[in-house]
Chains A and B, each alone.
Chain A
Amino acid sequence: MKKYILKSIGVFAILFAFTQMANAQSPQKYGQVSGSFQLDAQLYQEDSELGITAEDINGQDMRMNAFGNIIYRLGNFSAGVRYEAYLPPLAGFDTRLEGQGFVNRWARYSTGIIDVTVGNFYEQFGSGMIFRAYEEWSLGYDNSVDGARVILTPMKGMTIKGIYGTQRFFWQKYEKNNRGIVRGGDLDLFMNDIFSGLESSKTKLTLGAGLISKYQADLDPIYKLPENVMSWSGRFNLSHGGFFWQTEYAHKINDPNAINDYIYKDGQGLFSSMSYSQKGLGFALSAKWIDNMGFKSDRAVTGDALFINFLPPNAKTHSYSLSAMYPYATQVNGEAAIQATINYRVPKKSKLGGKYGMGIELNFSHIRAIDKTPLNDSTSIGQSGTLGYETKFLSIGDDVYFQDLGIEIDKKINKHFKLIVSADMIKYNMAIIEGHLGEPDVDAFVWVTDLSYRFKRKHSLRWELSQLLTKQDQGNWIASTLEYNFAPTWFFAISDQYNYVNKDGVIKYTNENGEVHETEFEKLHYPTIAAGYTKGTTRVLLSYGRQREGILCVGGVCRAVPKSNGFKITITSSF
């Protein structure tokens, strides 16, 4: 390990020397170095009202996540390293991240026909349903592949990709049989370039297909496990003017694993998304149906690590804090989802649009279970060591997992004022999404008003007020933020989220066994103050206050955010 760090520091020093030379002399001759950096650190405090004791903090009152990326480019050659440190990781991140070192190092060479990467790389086939290696800092998610990737362009319009390697699993180095090996290939054909007759056509068509196979030894004493699991997909993208339609079908052969409780059923999925846009009007419709599509390079691992594939989300990602309180997490064992979004811009100088026009967005998403029936009378649905269950392709089950119906309107009122209002009705199946068996569904209504006031050139104030109403979970919330911006350098904000529950502070529900559950909540405030400073590509953000317990999701992949109180700093920079 020590040797590895020293080696990496060596690489870093050489790269640094190159930068100096590059700055001093001609960049074409010595190449260019770029990089980015982020540090998130928090000082945790005890808070008796939130129930955070010294025992919870356990002496680790200071925590930090940080990374630095350095990329060097010279002509067709590029190389990079990524350093990460979690000392220890911020609360809510996987504790297995604890450690520091160079997690990522790669070199890449590309000419017109061939593009080769060795080391760590990120890649995606189609929409990602069979393969997507990516990184999401805010989730602590990184399933990069360490190995080799070759991208060939044998003719115009044709791209062939081949990948071979093992995936990142926190800090654990790959050793024989400690996880699987991933290999695969993908073909992408842009028909308009391949067939000369279509070159000038307004209709554009791309066809694609991919294959991924995972190898993992069968060391299980009970089950006969498939050592090679293959997944394949076929797809098309079609566009004509403002119209766009993409569809992908994916299939995976028997892959008994810890996520599907070791059932031997094949998995399959279909994702289709269509959109149309013209001046002032946009429309998008997407649908997804998946069955048993959890695909990892270690069949025994649960949680977010080592996913080979990614199932695109069909729910709106909210940016206002109360609207984002109940986000949807993709259910890889089966879900049927649709989402529709309409954007309309009411023209300027119309009766409704006024002087500046007005934007309206309507969004609807609805996600349900798929219909699973038992194989026979003596086998329960999902029983390990069986085919699990039966389901018809595109079947829809009775259980609703999630629904969000929302509207957002933005309007510039005059030279100084801009207003955004939104309202969402959310249904959230807590038992399924959070795994809290027996908890009732949450029905929440959230409204937000966001008013910006520009009172001087570069000076503006923003006031946000929102409320969440629900009879379940922790009851009602109200939140407000006041922000002062002095563009582009400074910003200050003060905010509070108040969990006022309801009049008597008691949430009551009756479970399926007829038992009445009553939980008394303390009505709590979550105040925060924050300040930020930006100069060039560097930004420093400081905040102090309480953080409510919740769930953070990016693209349907989620992590829990525990409640906390303390001082937080974020620094980001790039060059």
Chain B
Amino acid sequence: MKIFKILFTIIIASGLFTACDKIEGSYYESGIIPPPTTRVLLEDYTGHTCVACPSAHVIAEDLQNTYGDTNLIVVAVHAGTFANPGSSPYDYDFTTDAGDAYNTFFGITSYPNGVINRVKTGNNYFIDKNQWGPAVSKLLYEKKTMEVTIEANGNDTIINGSVKIDFIEGLNSQAKVIIWVTEDHIIKPQLNGALDYEHNHVLRGAVEHTWGYTLSSSTYSAGSTTSIEFSDYRIGEDWVMKNLSVVAFVYDDETKRVIQVNKAHVHI
């Protein structure tokens, strides 16, 4: 019968459109990740009484293991409802004036939440932890337009240092440089974690200005260099100098977008 002949032809022809790839086993391209072309800053807005926050720390750590912790700079910003010191054992104060200011500026009210290179997605700077992976992987392969080099020296309770900026490409907008001090291996309780939870890359404070140093010019030609010196930054009483690092990043003052970031341990 004609109909069966036609249907048979259709079934054969439909093979043309059935191309489909079912991914089995691992969903990751293990071992073949190309080296990132630039660095990315991931601000993990978190709190010690936030139950879902440890899962975000794991995601951040996984991403650092994937791309290297020198390429993906993670900073834990303790701010908002779940970061405020409460009753024991969650009575330690992780909050900072700078962290509170960023938290308000970015409009973050639920935790955990991330801000990646301070890039807006739609109307928001913040981005859900499950979307950190795709966002980070995209930004890590953008073109590198400048390099940031940090020198930091610790002396008793004082940190001195400098941030050098090498312009690989010219810059034609006003940029600023934020310098932070972060601390690793702080053992303090974390809800849904442990009483002896290890808090890493915790933001301790901004050097001099919350919103950073303004670069002296708004135009720099490719190949030029500028630097910012800082001195006499006094660390907190319970901070451990050997666990401290300095994170510095250059960002566009108008869009707030991070152009380049780096991190260096404080030399003792």
Contact = CB atoms under 8 A, between A and B. Distances in A.
Contacts of B18: 211, 213, 230
B110 A438 contact: yes
A230 B15 CA distance: 11
Interface in A160-186: 160, 162, 183-185
A380 interface: yes
B221 interface: no
A223 B27 contact: yes
A194 interface: yes
Contact of B28 (A185, A222, A261): A222
A242 B141 CA distance: 60
Contacts of B52: 380
Interface in A242-287: 253-254, 256, 258, 261-262, 264
B131 A261 contact: yes
Contact of A222 (B2, B33, B81): B33
Given A223-B27, A223-B28, A158 B3 contact: yes
B2 A515 contact: no
A211 B134 contact: no
A130 B23 CA distance: 21
Nearest to A163: B17
Contacts of A183: 16-17
A386 interface: yes
A59 interface: no
B159 to A, nearest CB: 35
Contact of A211 (B17, B22, B131, B133): B17
A185 to B, nearest CB: 5
Contact of A261 (B13, B20, B130): B130
Nearest to A511: B109
A384 interface: yes
B78 to A, nearest CB: 16
A224 B134 contact: no
Contact of B27 (A215, A256, A438): A256
B231 to A, nearest CB: 39
Contacts of B131: 258, 261, 384
A224 B20 contact: no
Contact of B20 (A194, A253, A258): A253
B21 A229 contact: yes
Interface residues of A, number: 45
B55 interface: yes
A382 B130 contact: yes
Contacts of A380: 52, 55, 130
Interface in A178-223: 183-185, 187, 194, 211-213, 215, 220-223
Nearest to A232: B18
A383 B130 contact: yes
Contacts of A74: none
A321 B19 CA distance: 46
Interface in A338-355: none
A524 interface: no
Contacts of A256: 27
B255 interface: no
Contacts of B6: 154-155, 158
Contacts of B137: 220-222
Contacts of B29: 220-224
Contact of A212 (B10, B17, B130, B134): B17
B134 A384 contact: yes
Interface in B80-113: 81, 109-110
B22 A226 contact: yes
A185 B130 contact: no
B143 to A, nearest CB: 16
Nearest to A187: B10
Contacts of A253: 20, 22
Contacts of B13: 185
| Max chain A C-beta neighbours (<10 A), residue from B22, B81, B137 | B22
Contacts of B20: 213, 226, 228-230, 253
A537 interface: no
B17 A264 contact: no
B155 interface: no
A224 B27 contact: yes
A300 interface: yes
B165 to A, nearest CB: 27
Given A155-B2, A213-B19, A222 B133 contact: yes
B28 A227 contact: no
Nearest to B138: A300
Contact of A437 (B2, B33, B110, B138): B110
- The 8 lowest CB-CB distance pairs between A and B, nearest first, are A230-B20, A226-B21, A228-B19, A261-B130, A211-B17, A213-B19, A228-B21, A221-B33
Interface of A: 154-155, 158, 160, 162, 183-185, 187, 194, 211-213, 215, 220-230, 253-254, 256, 258, 261-262, 264, 300, 302-303, 380, 382-386, 437-438, 513, 515
14 contacts: A158-B6, A185-B16, A213-B17, A213-B20, A220-B137, A221-B141, A222-B133, A223-B27, A223-B29, A224-B26, A226-B21, A382-B130, A385-B27, A513-B81
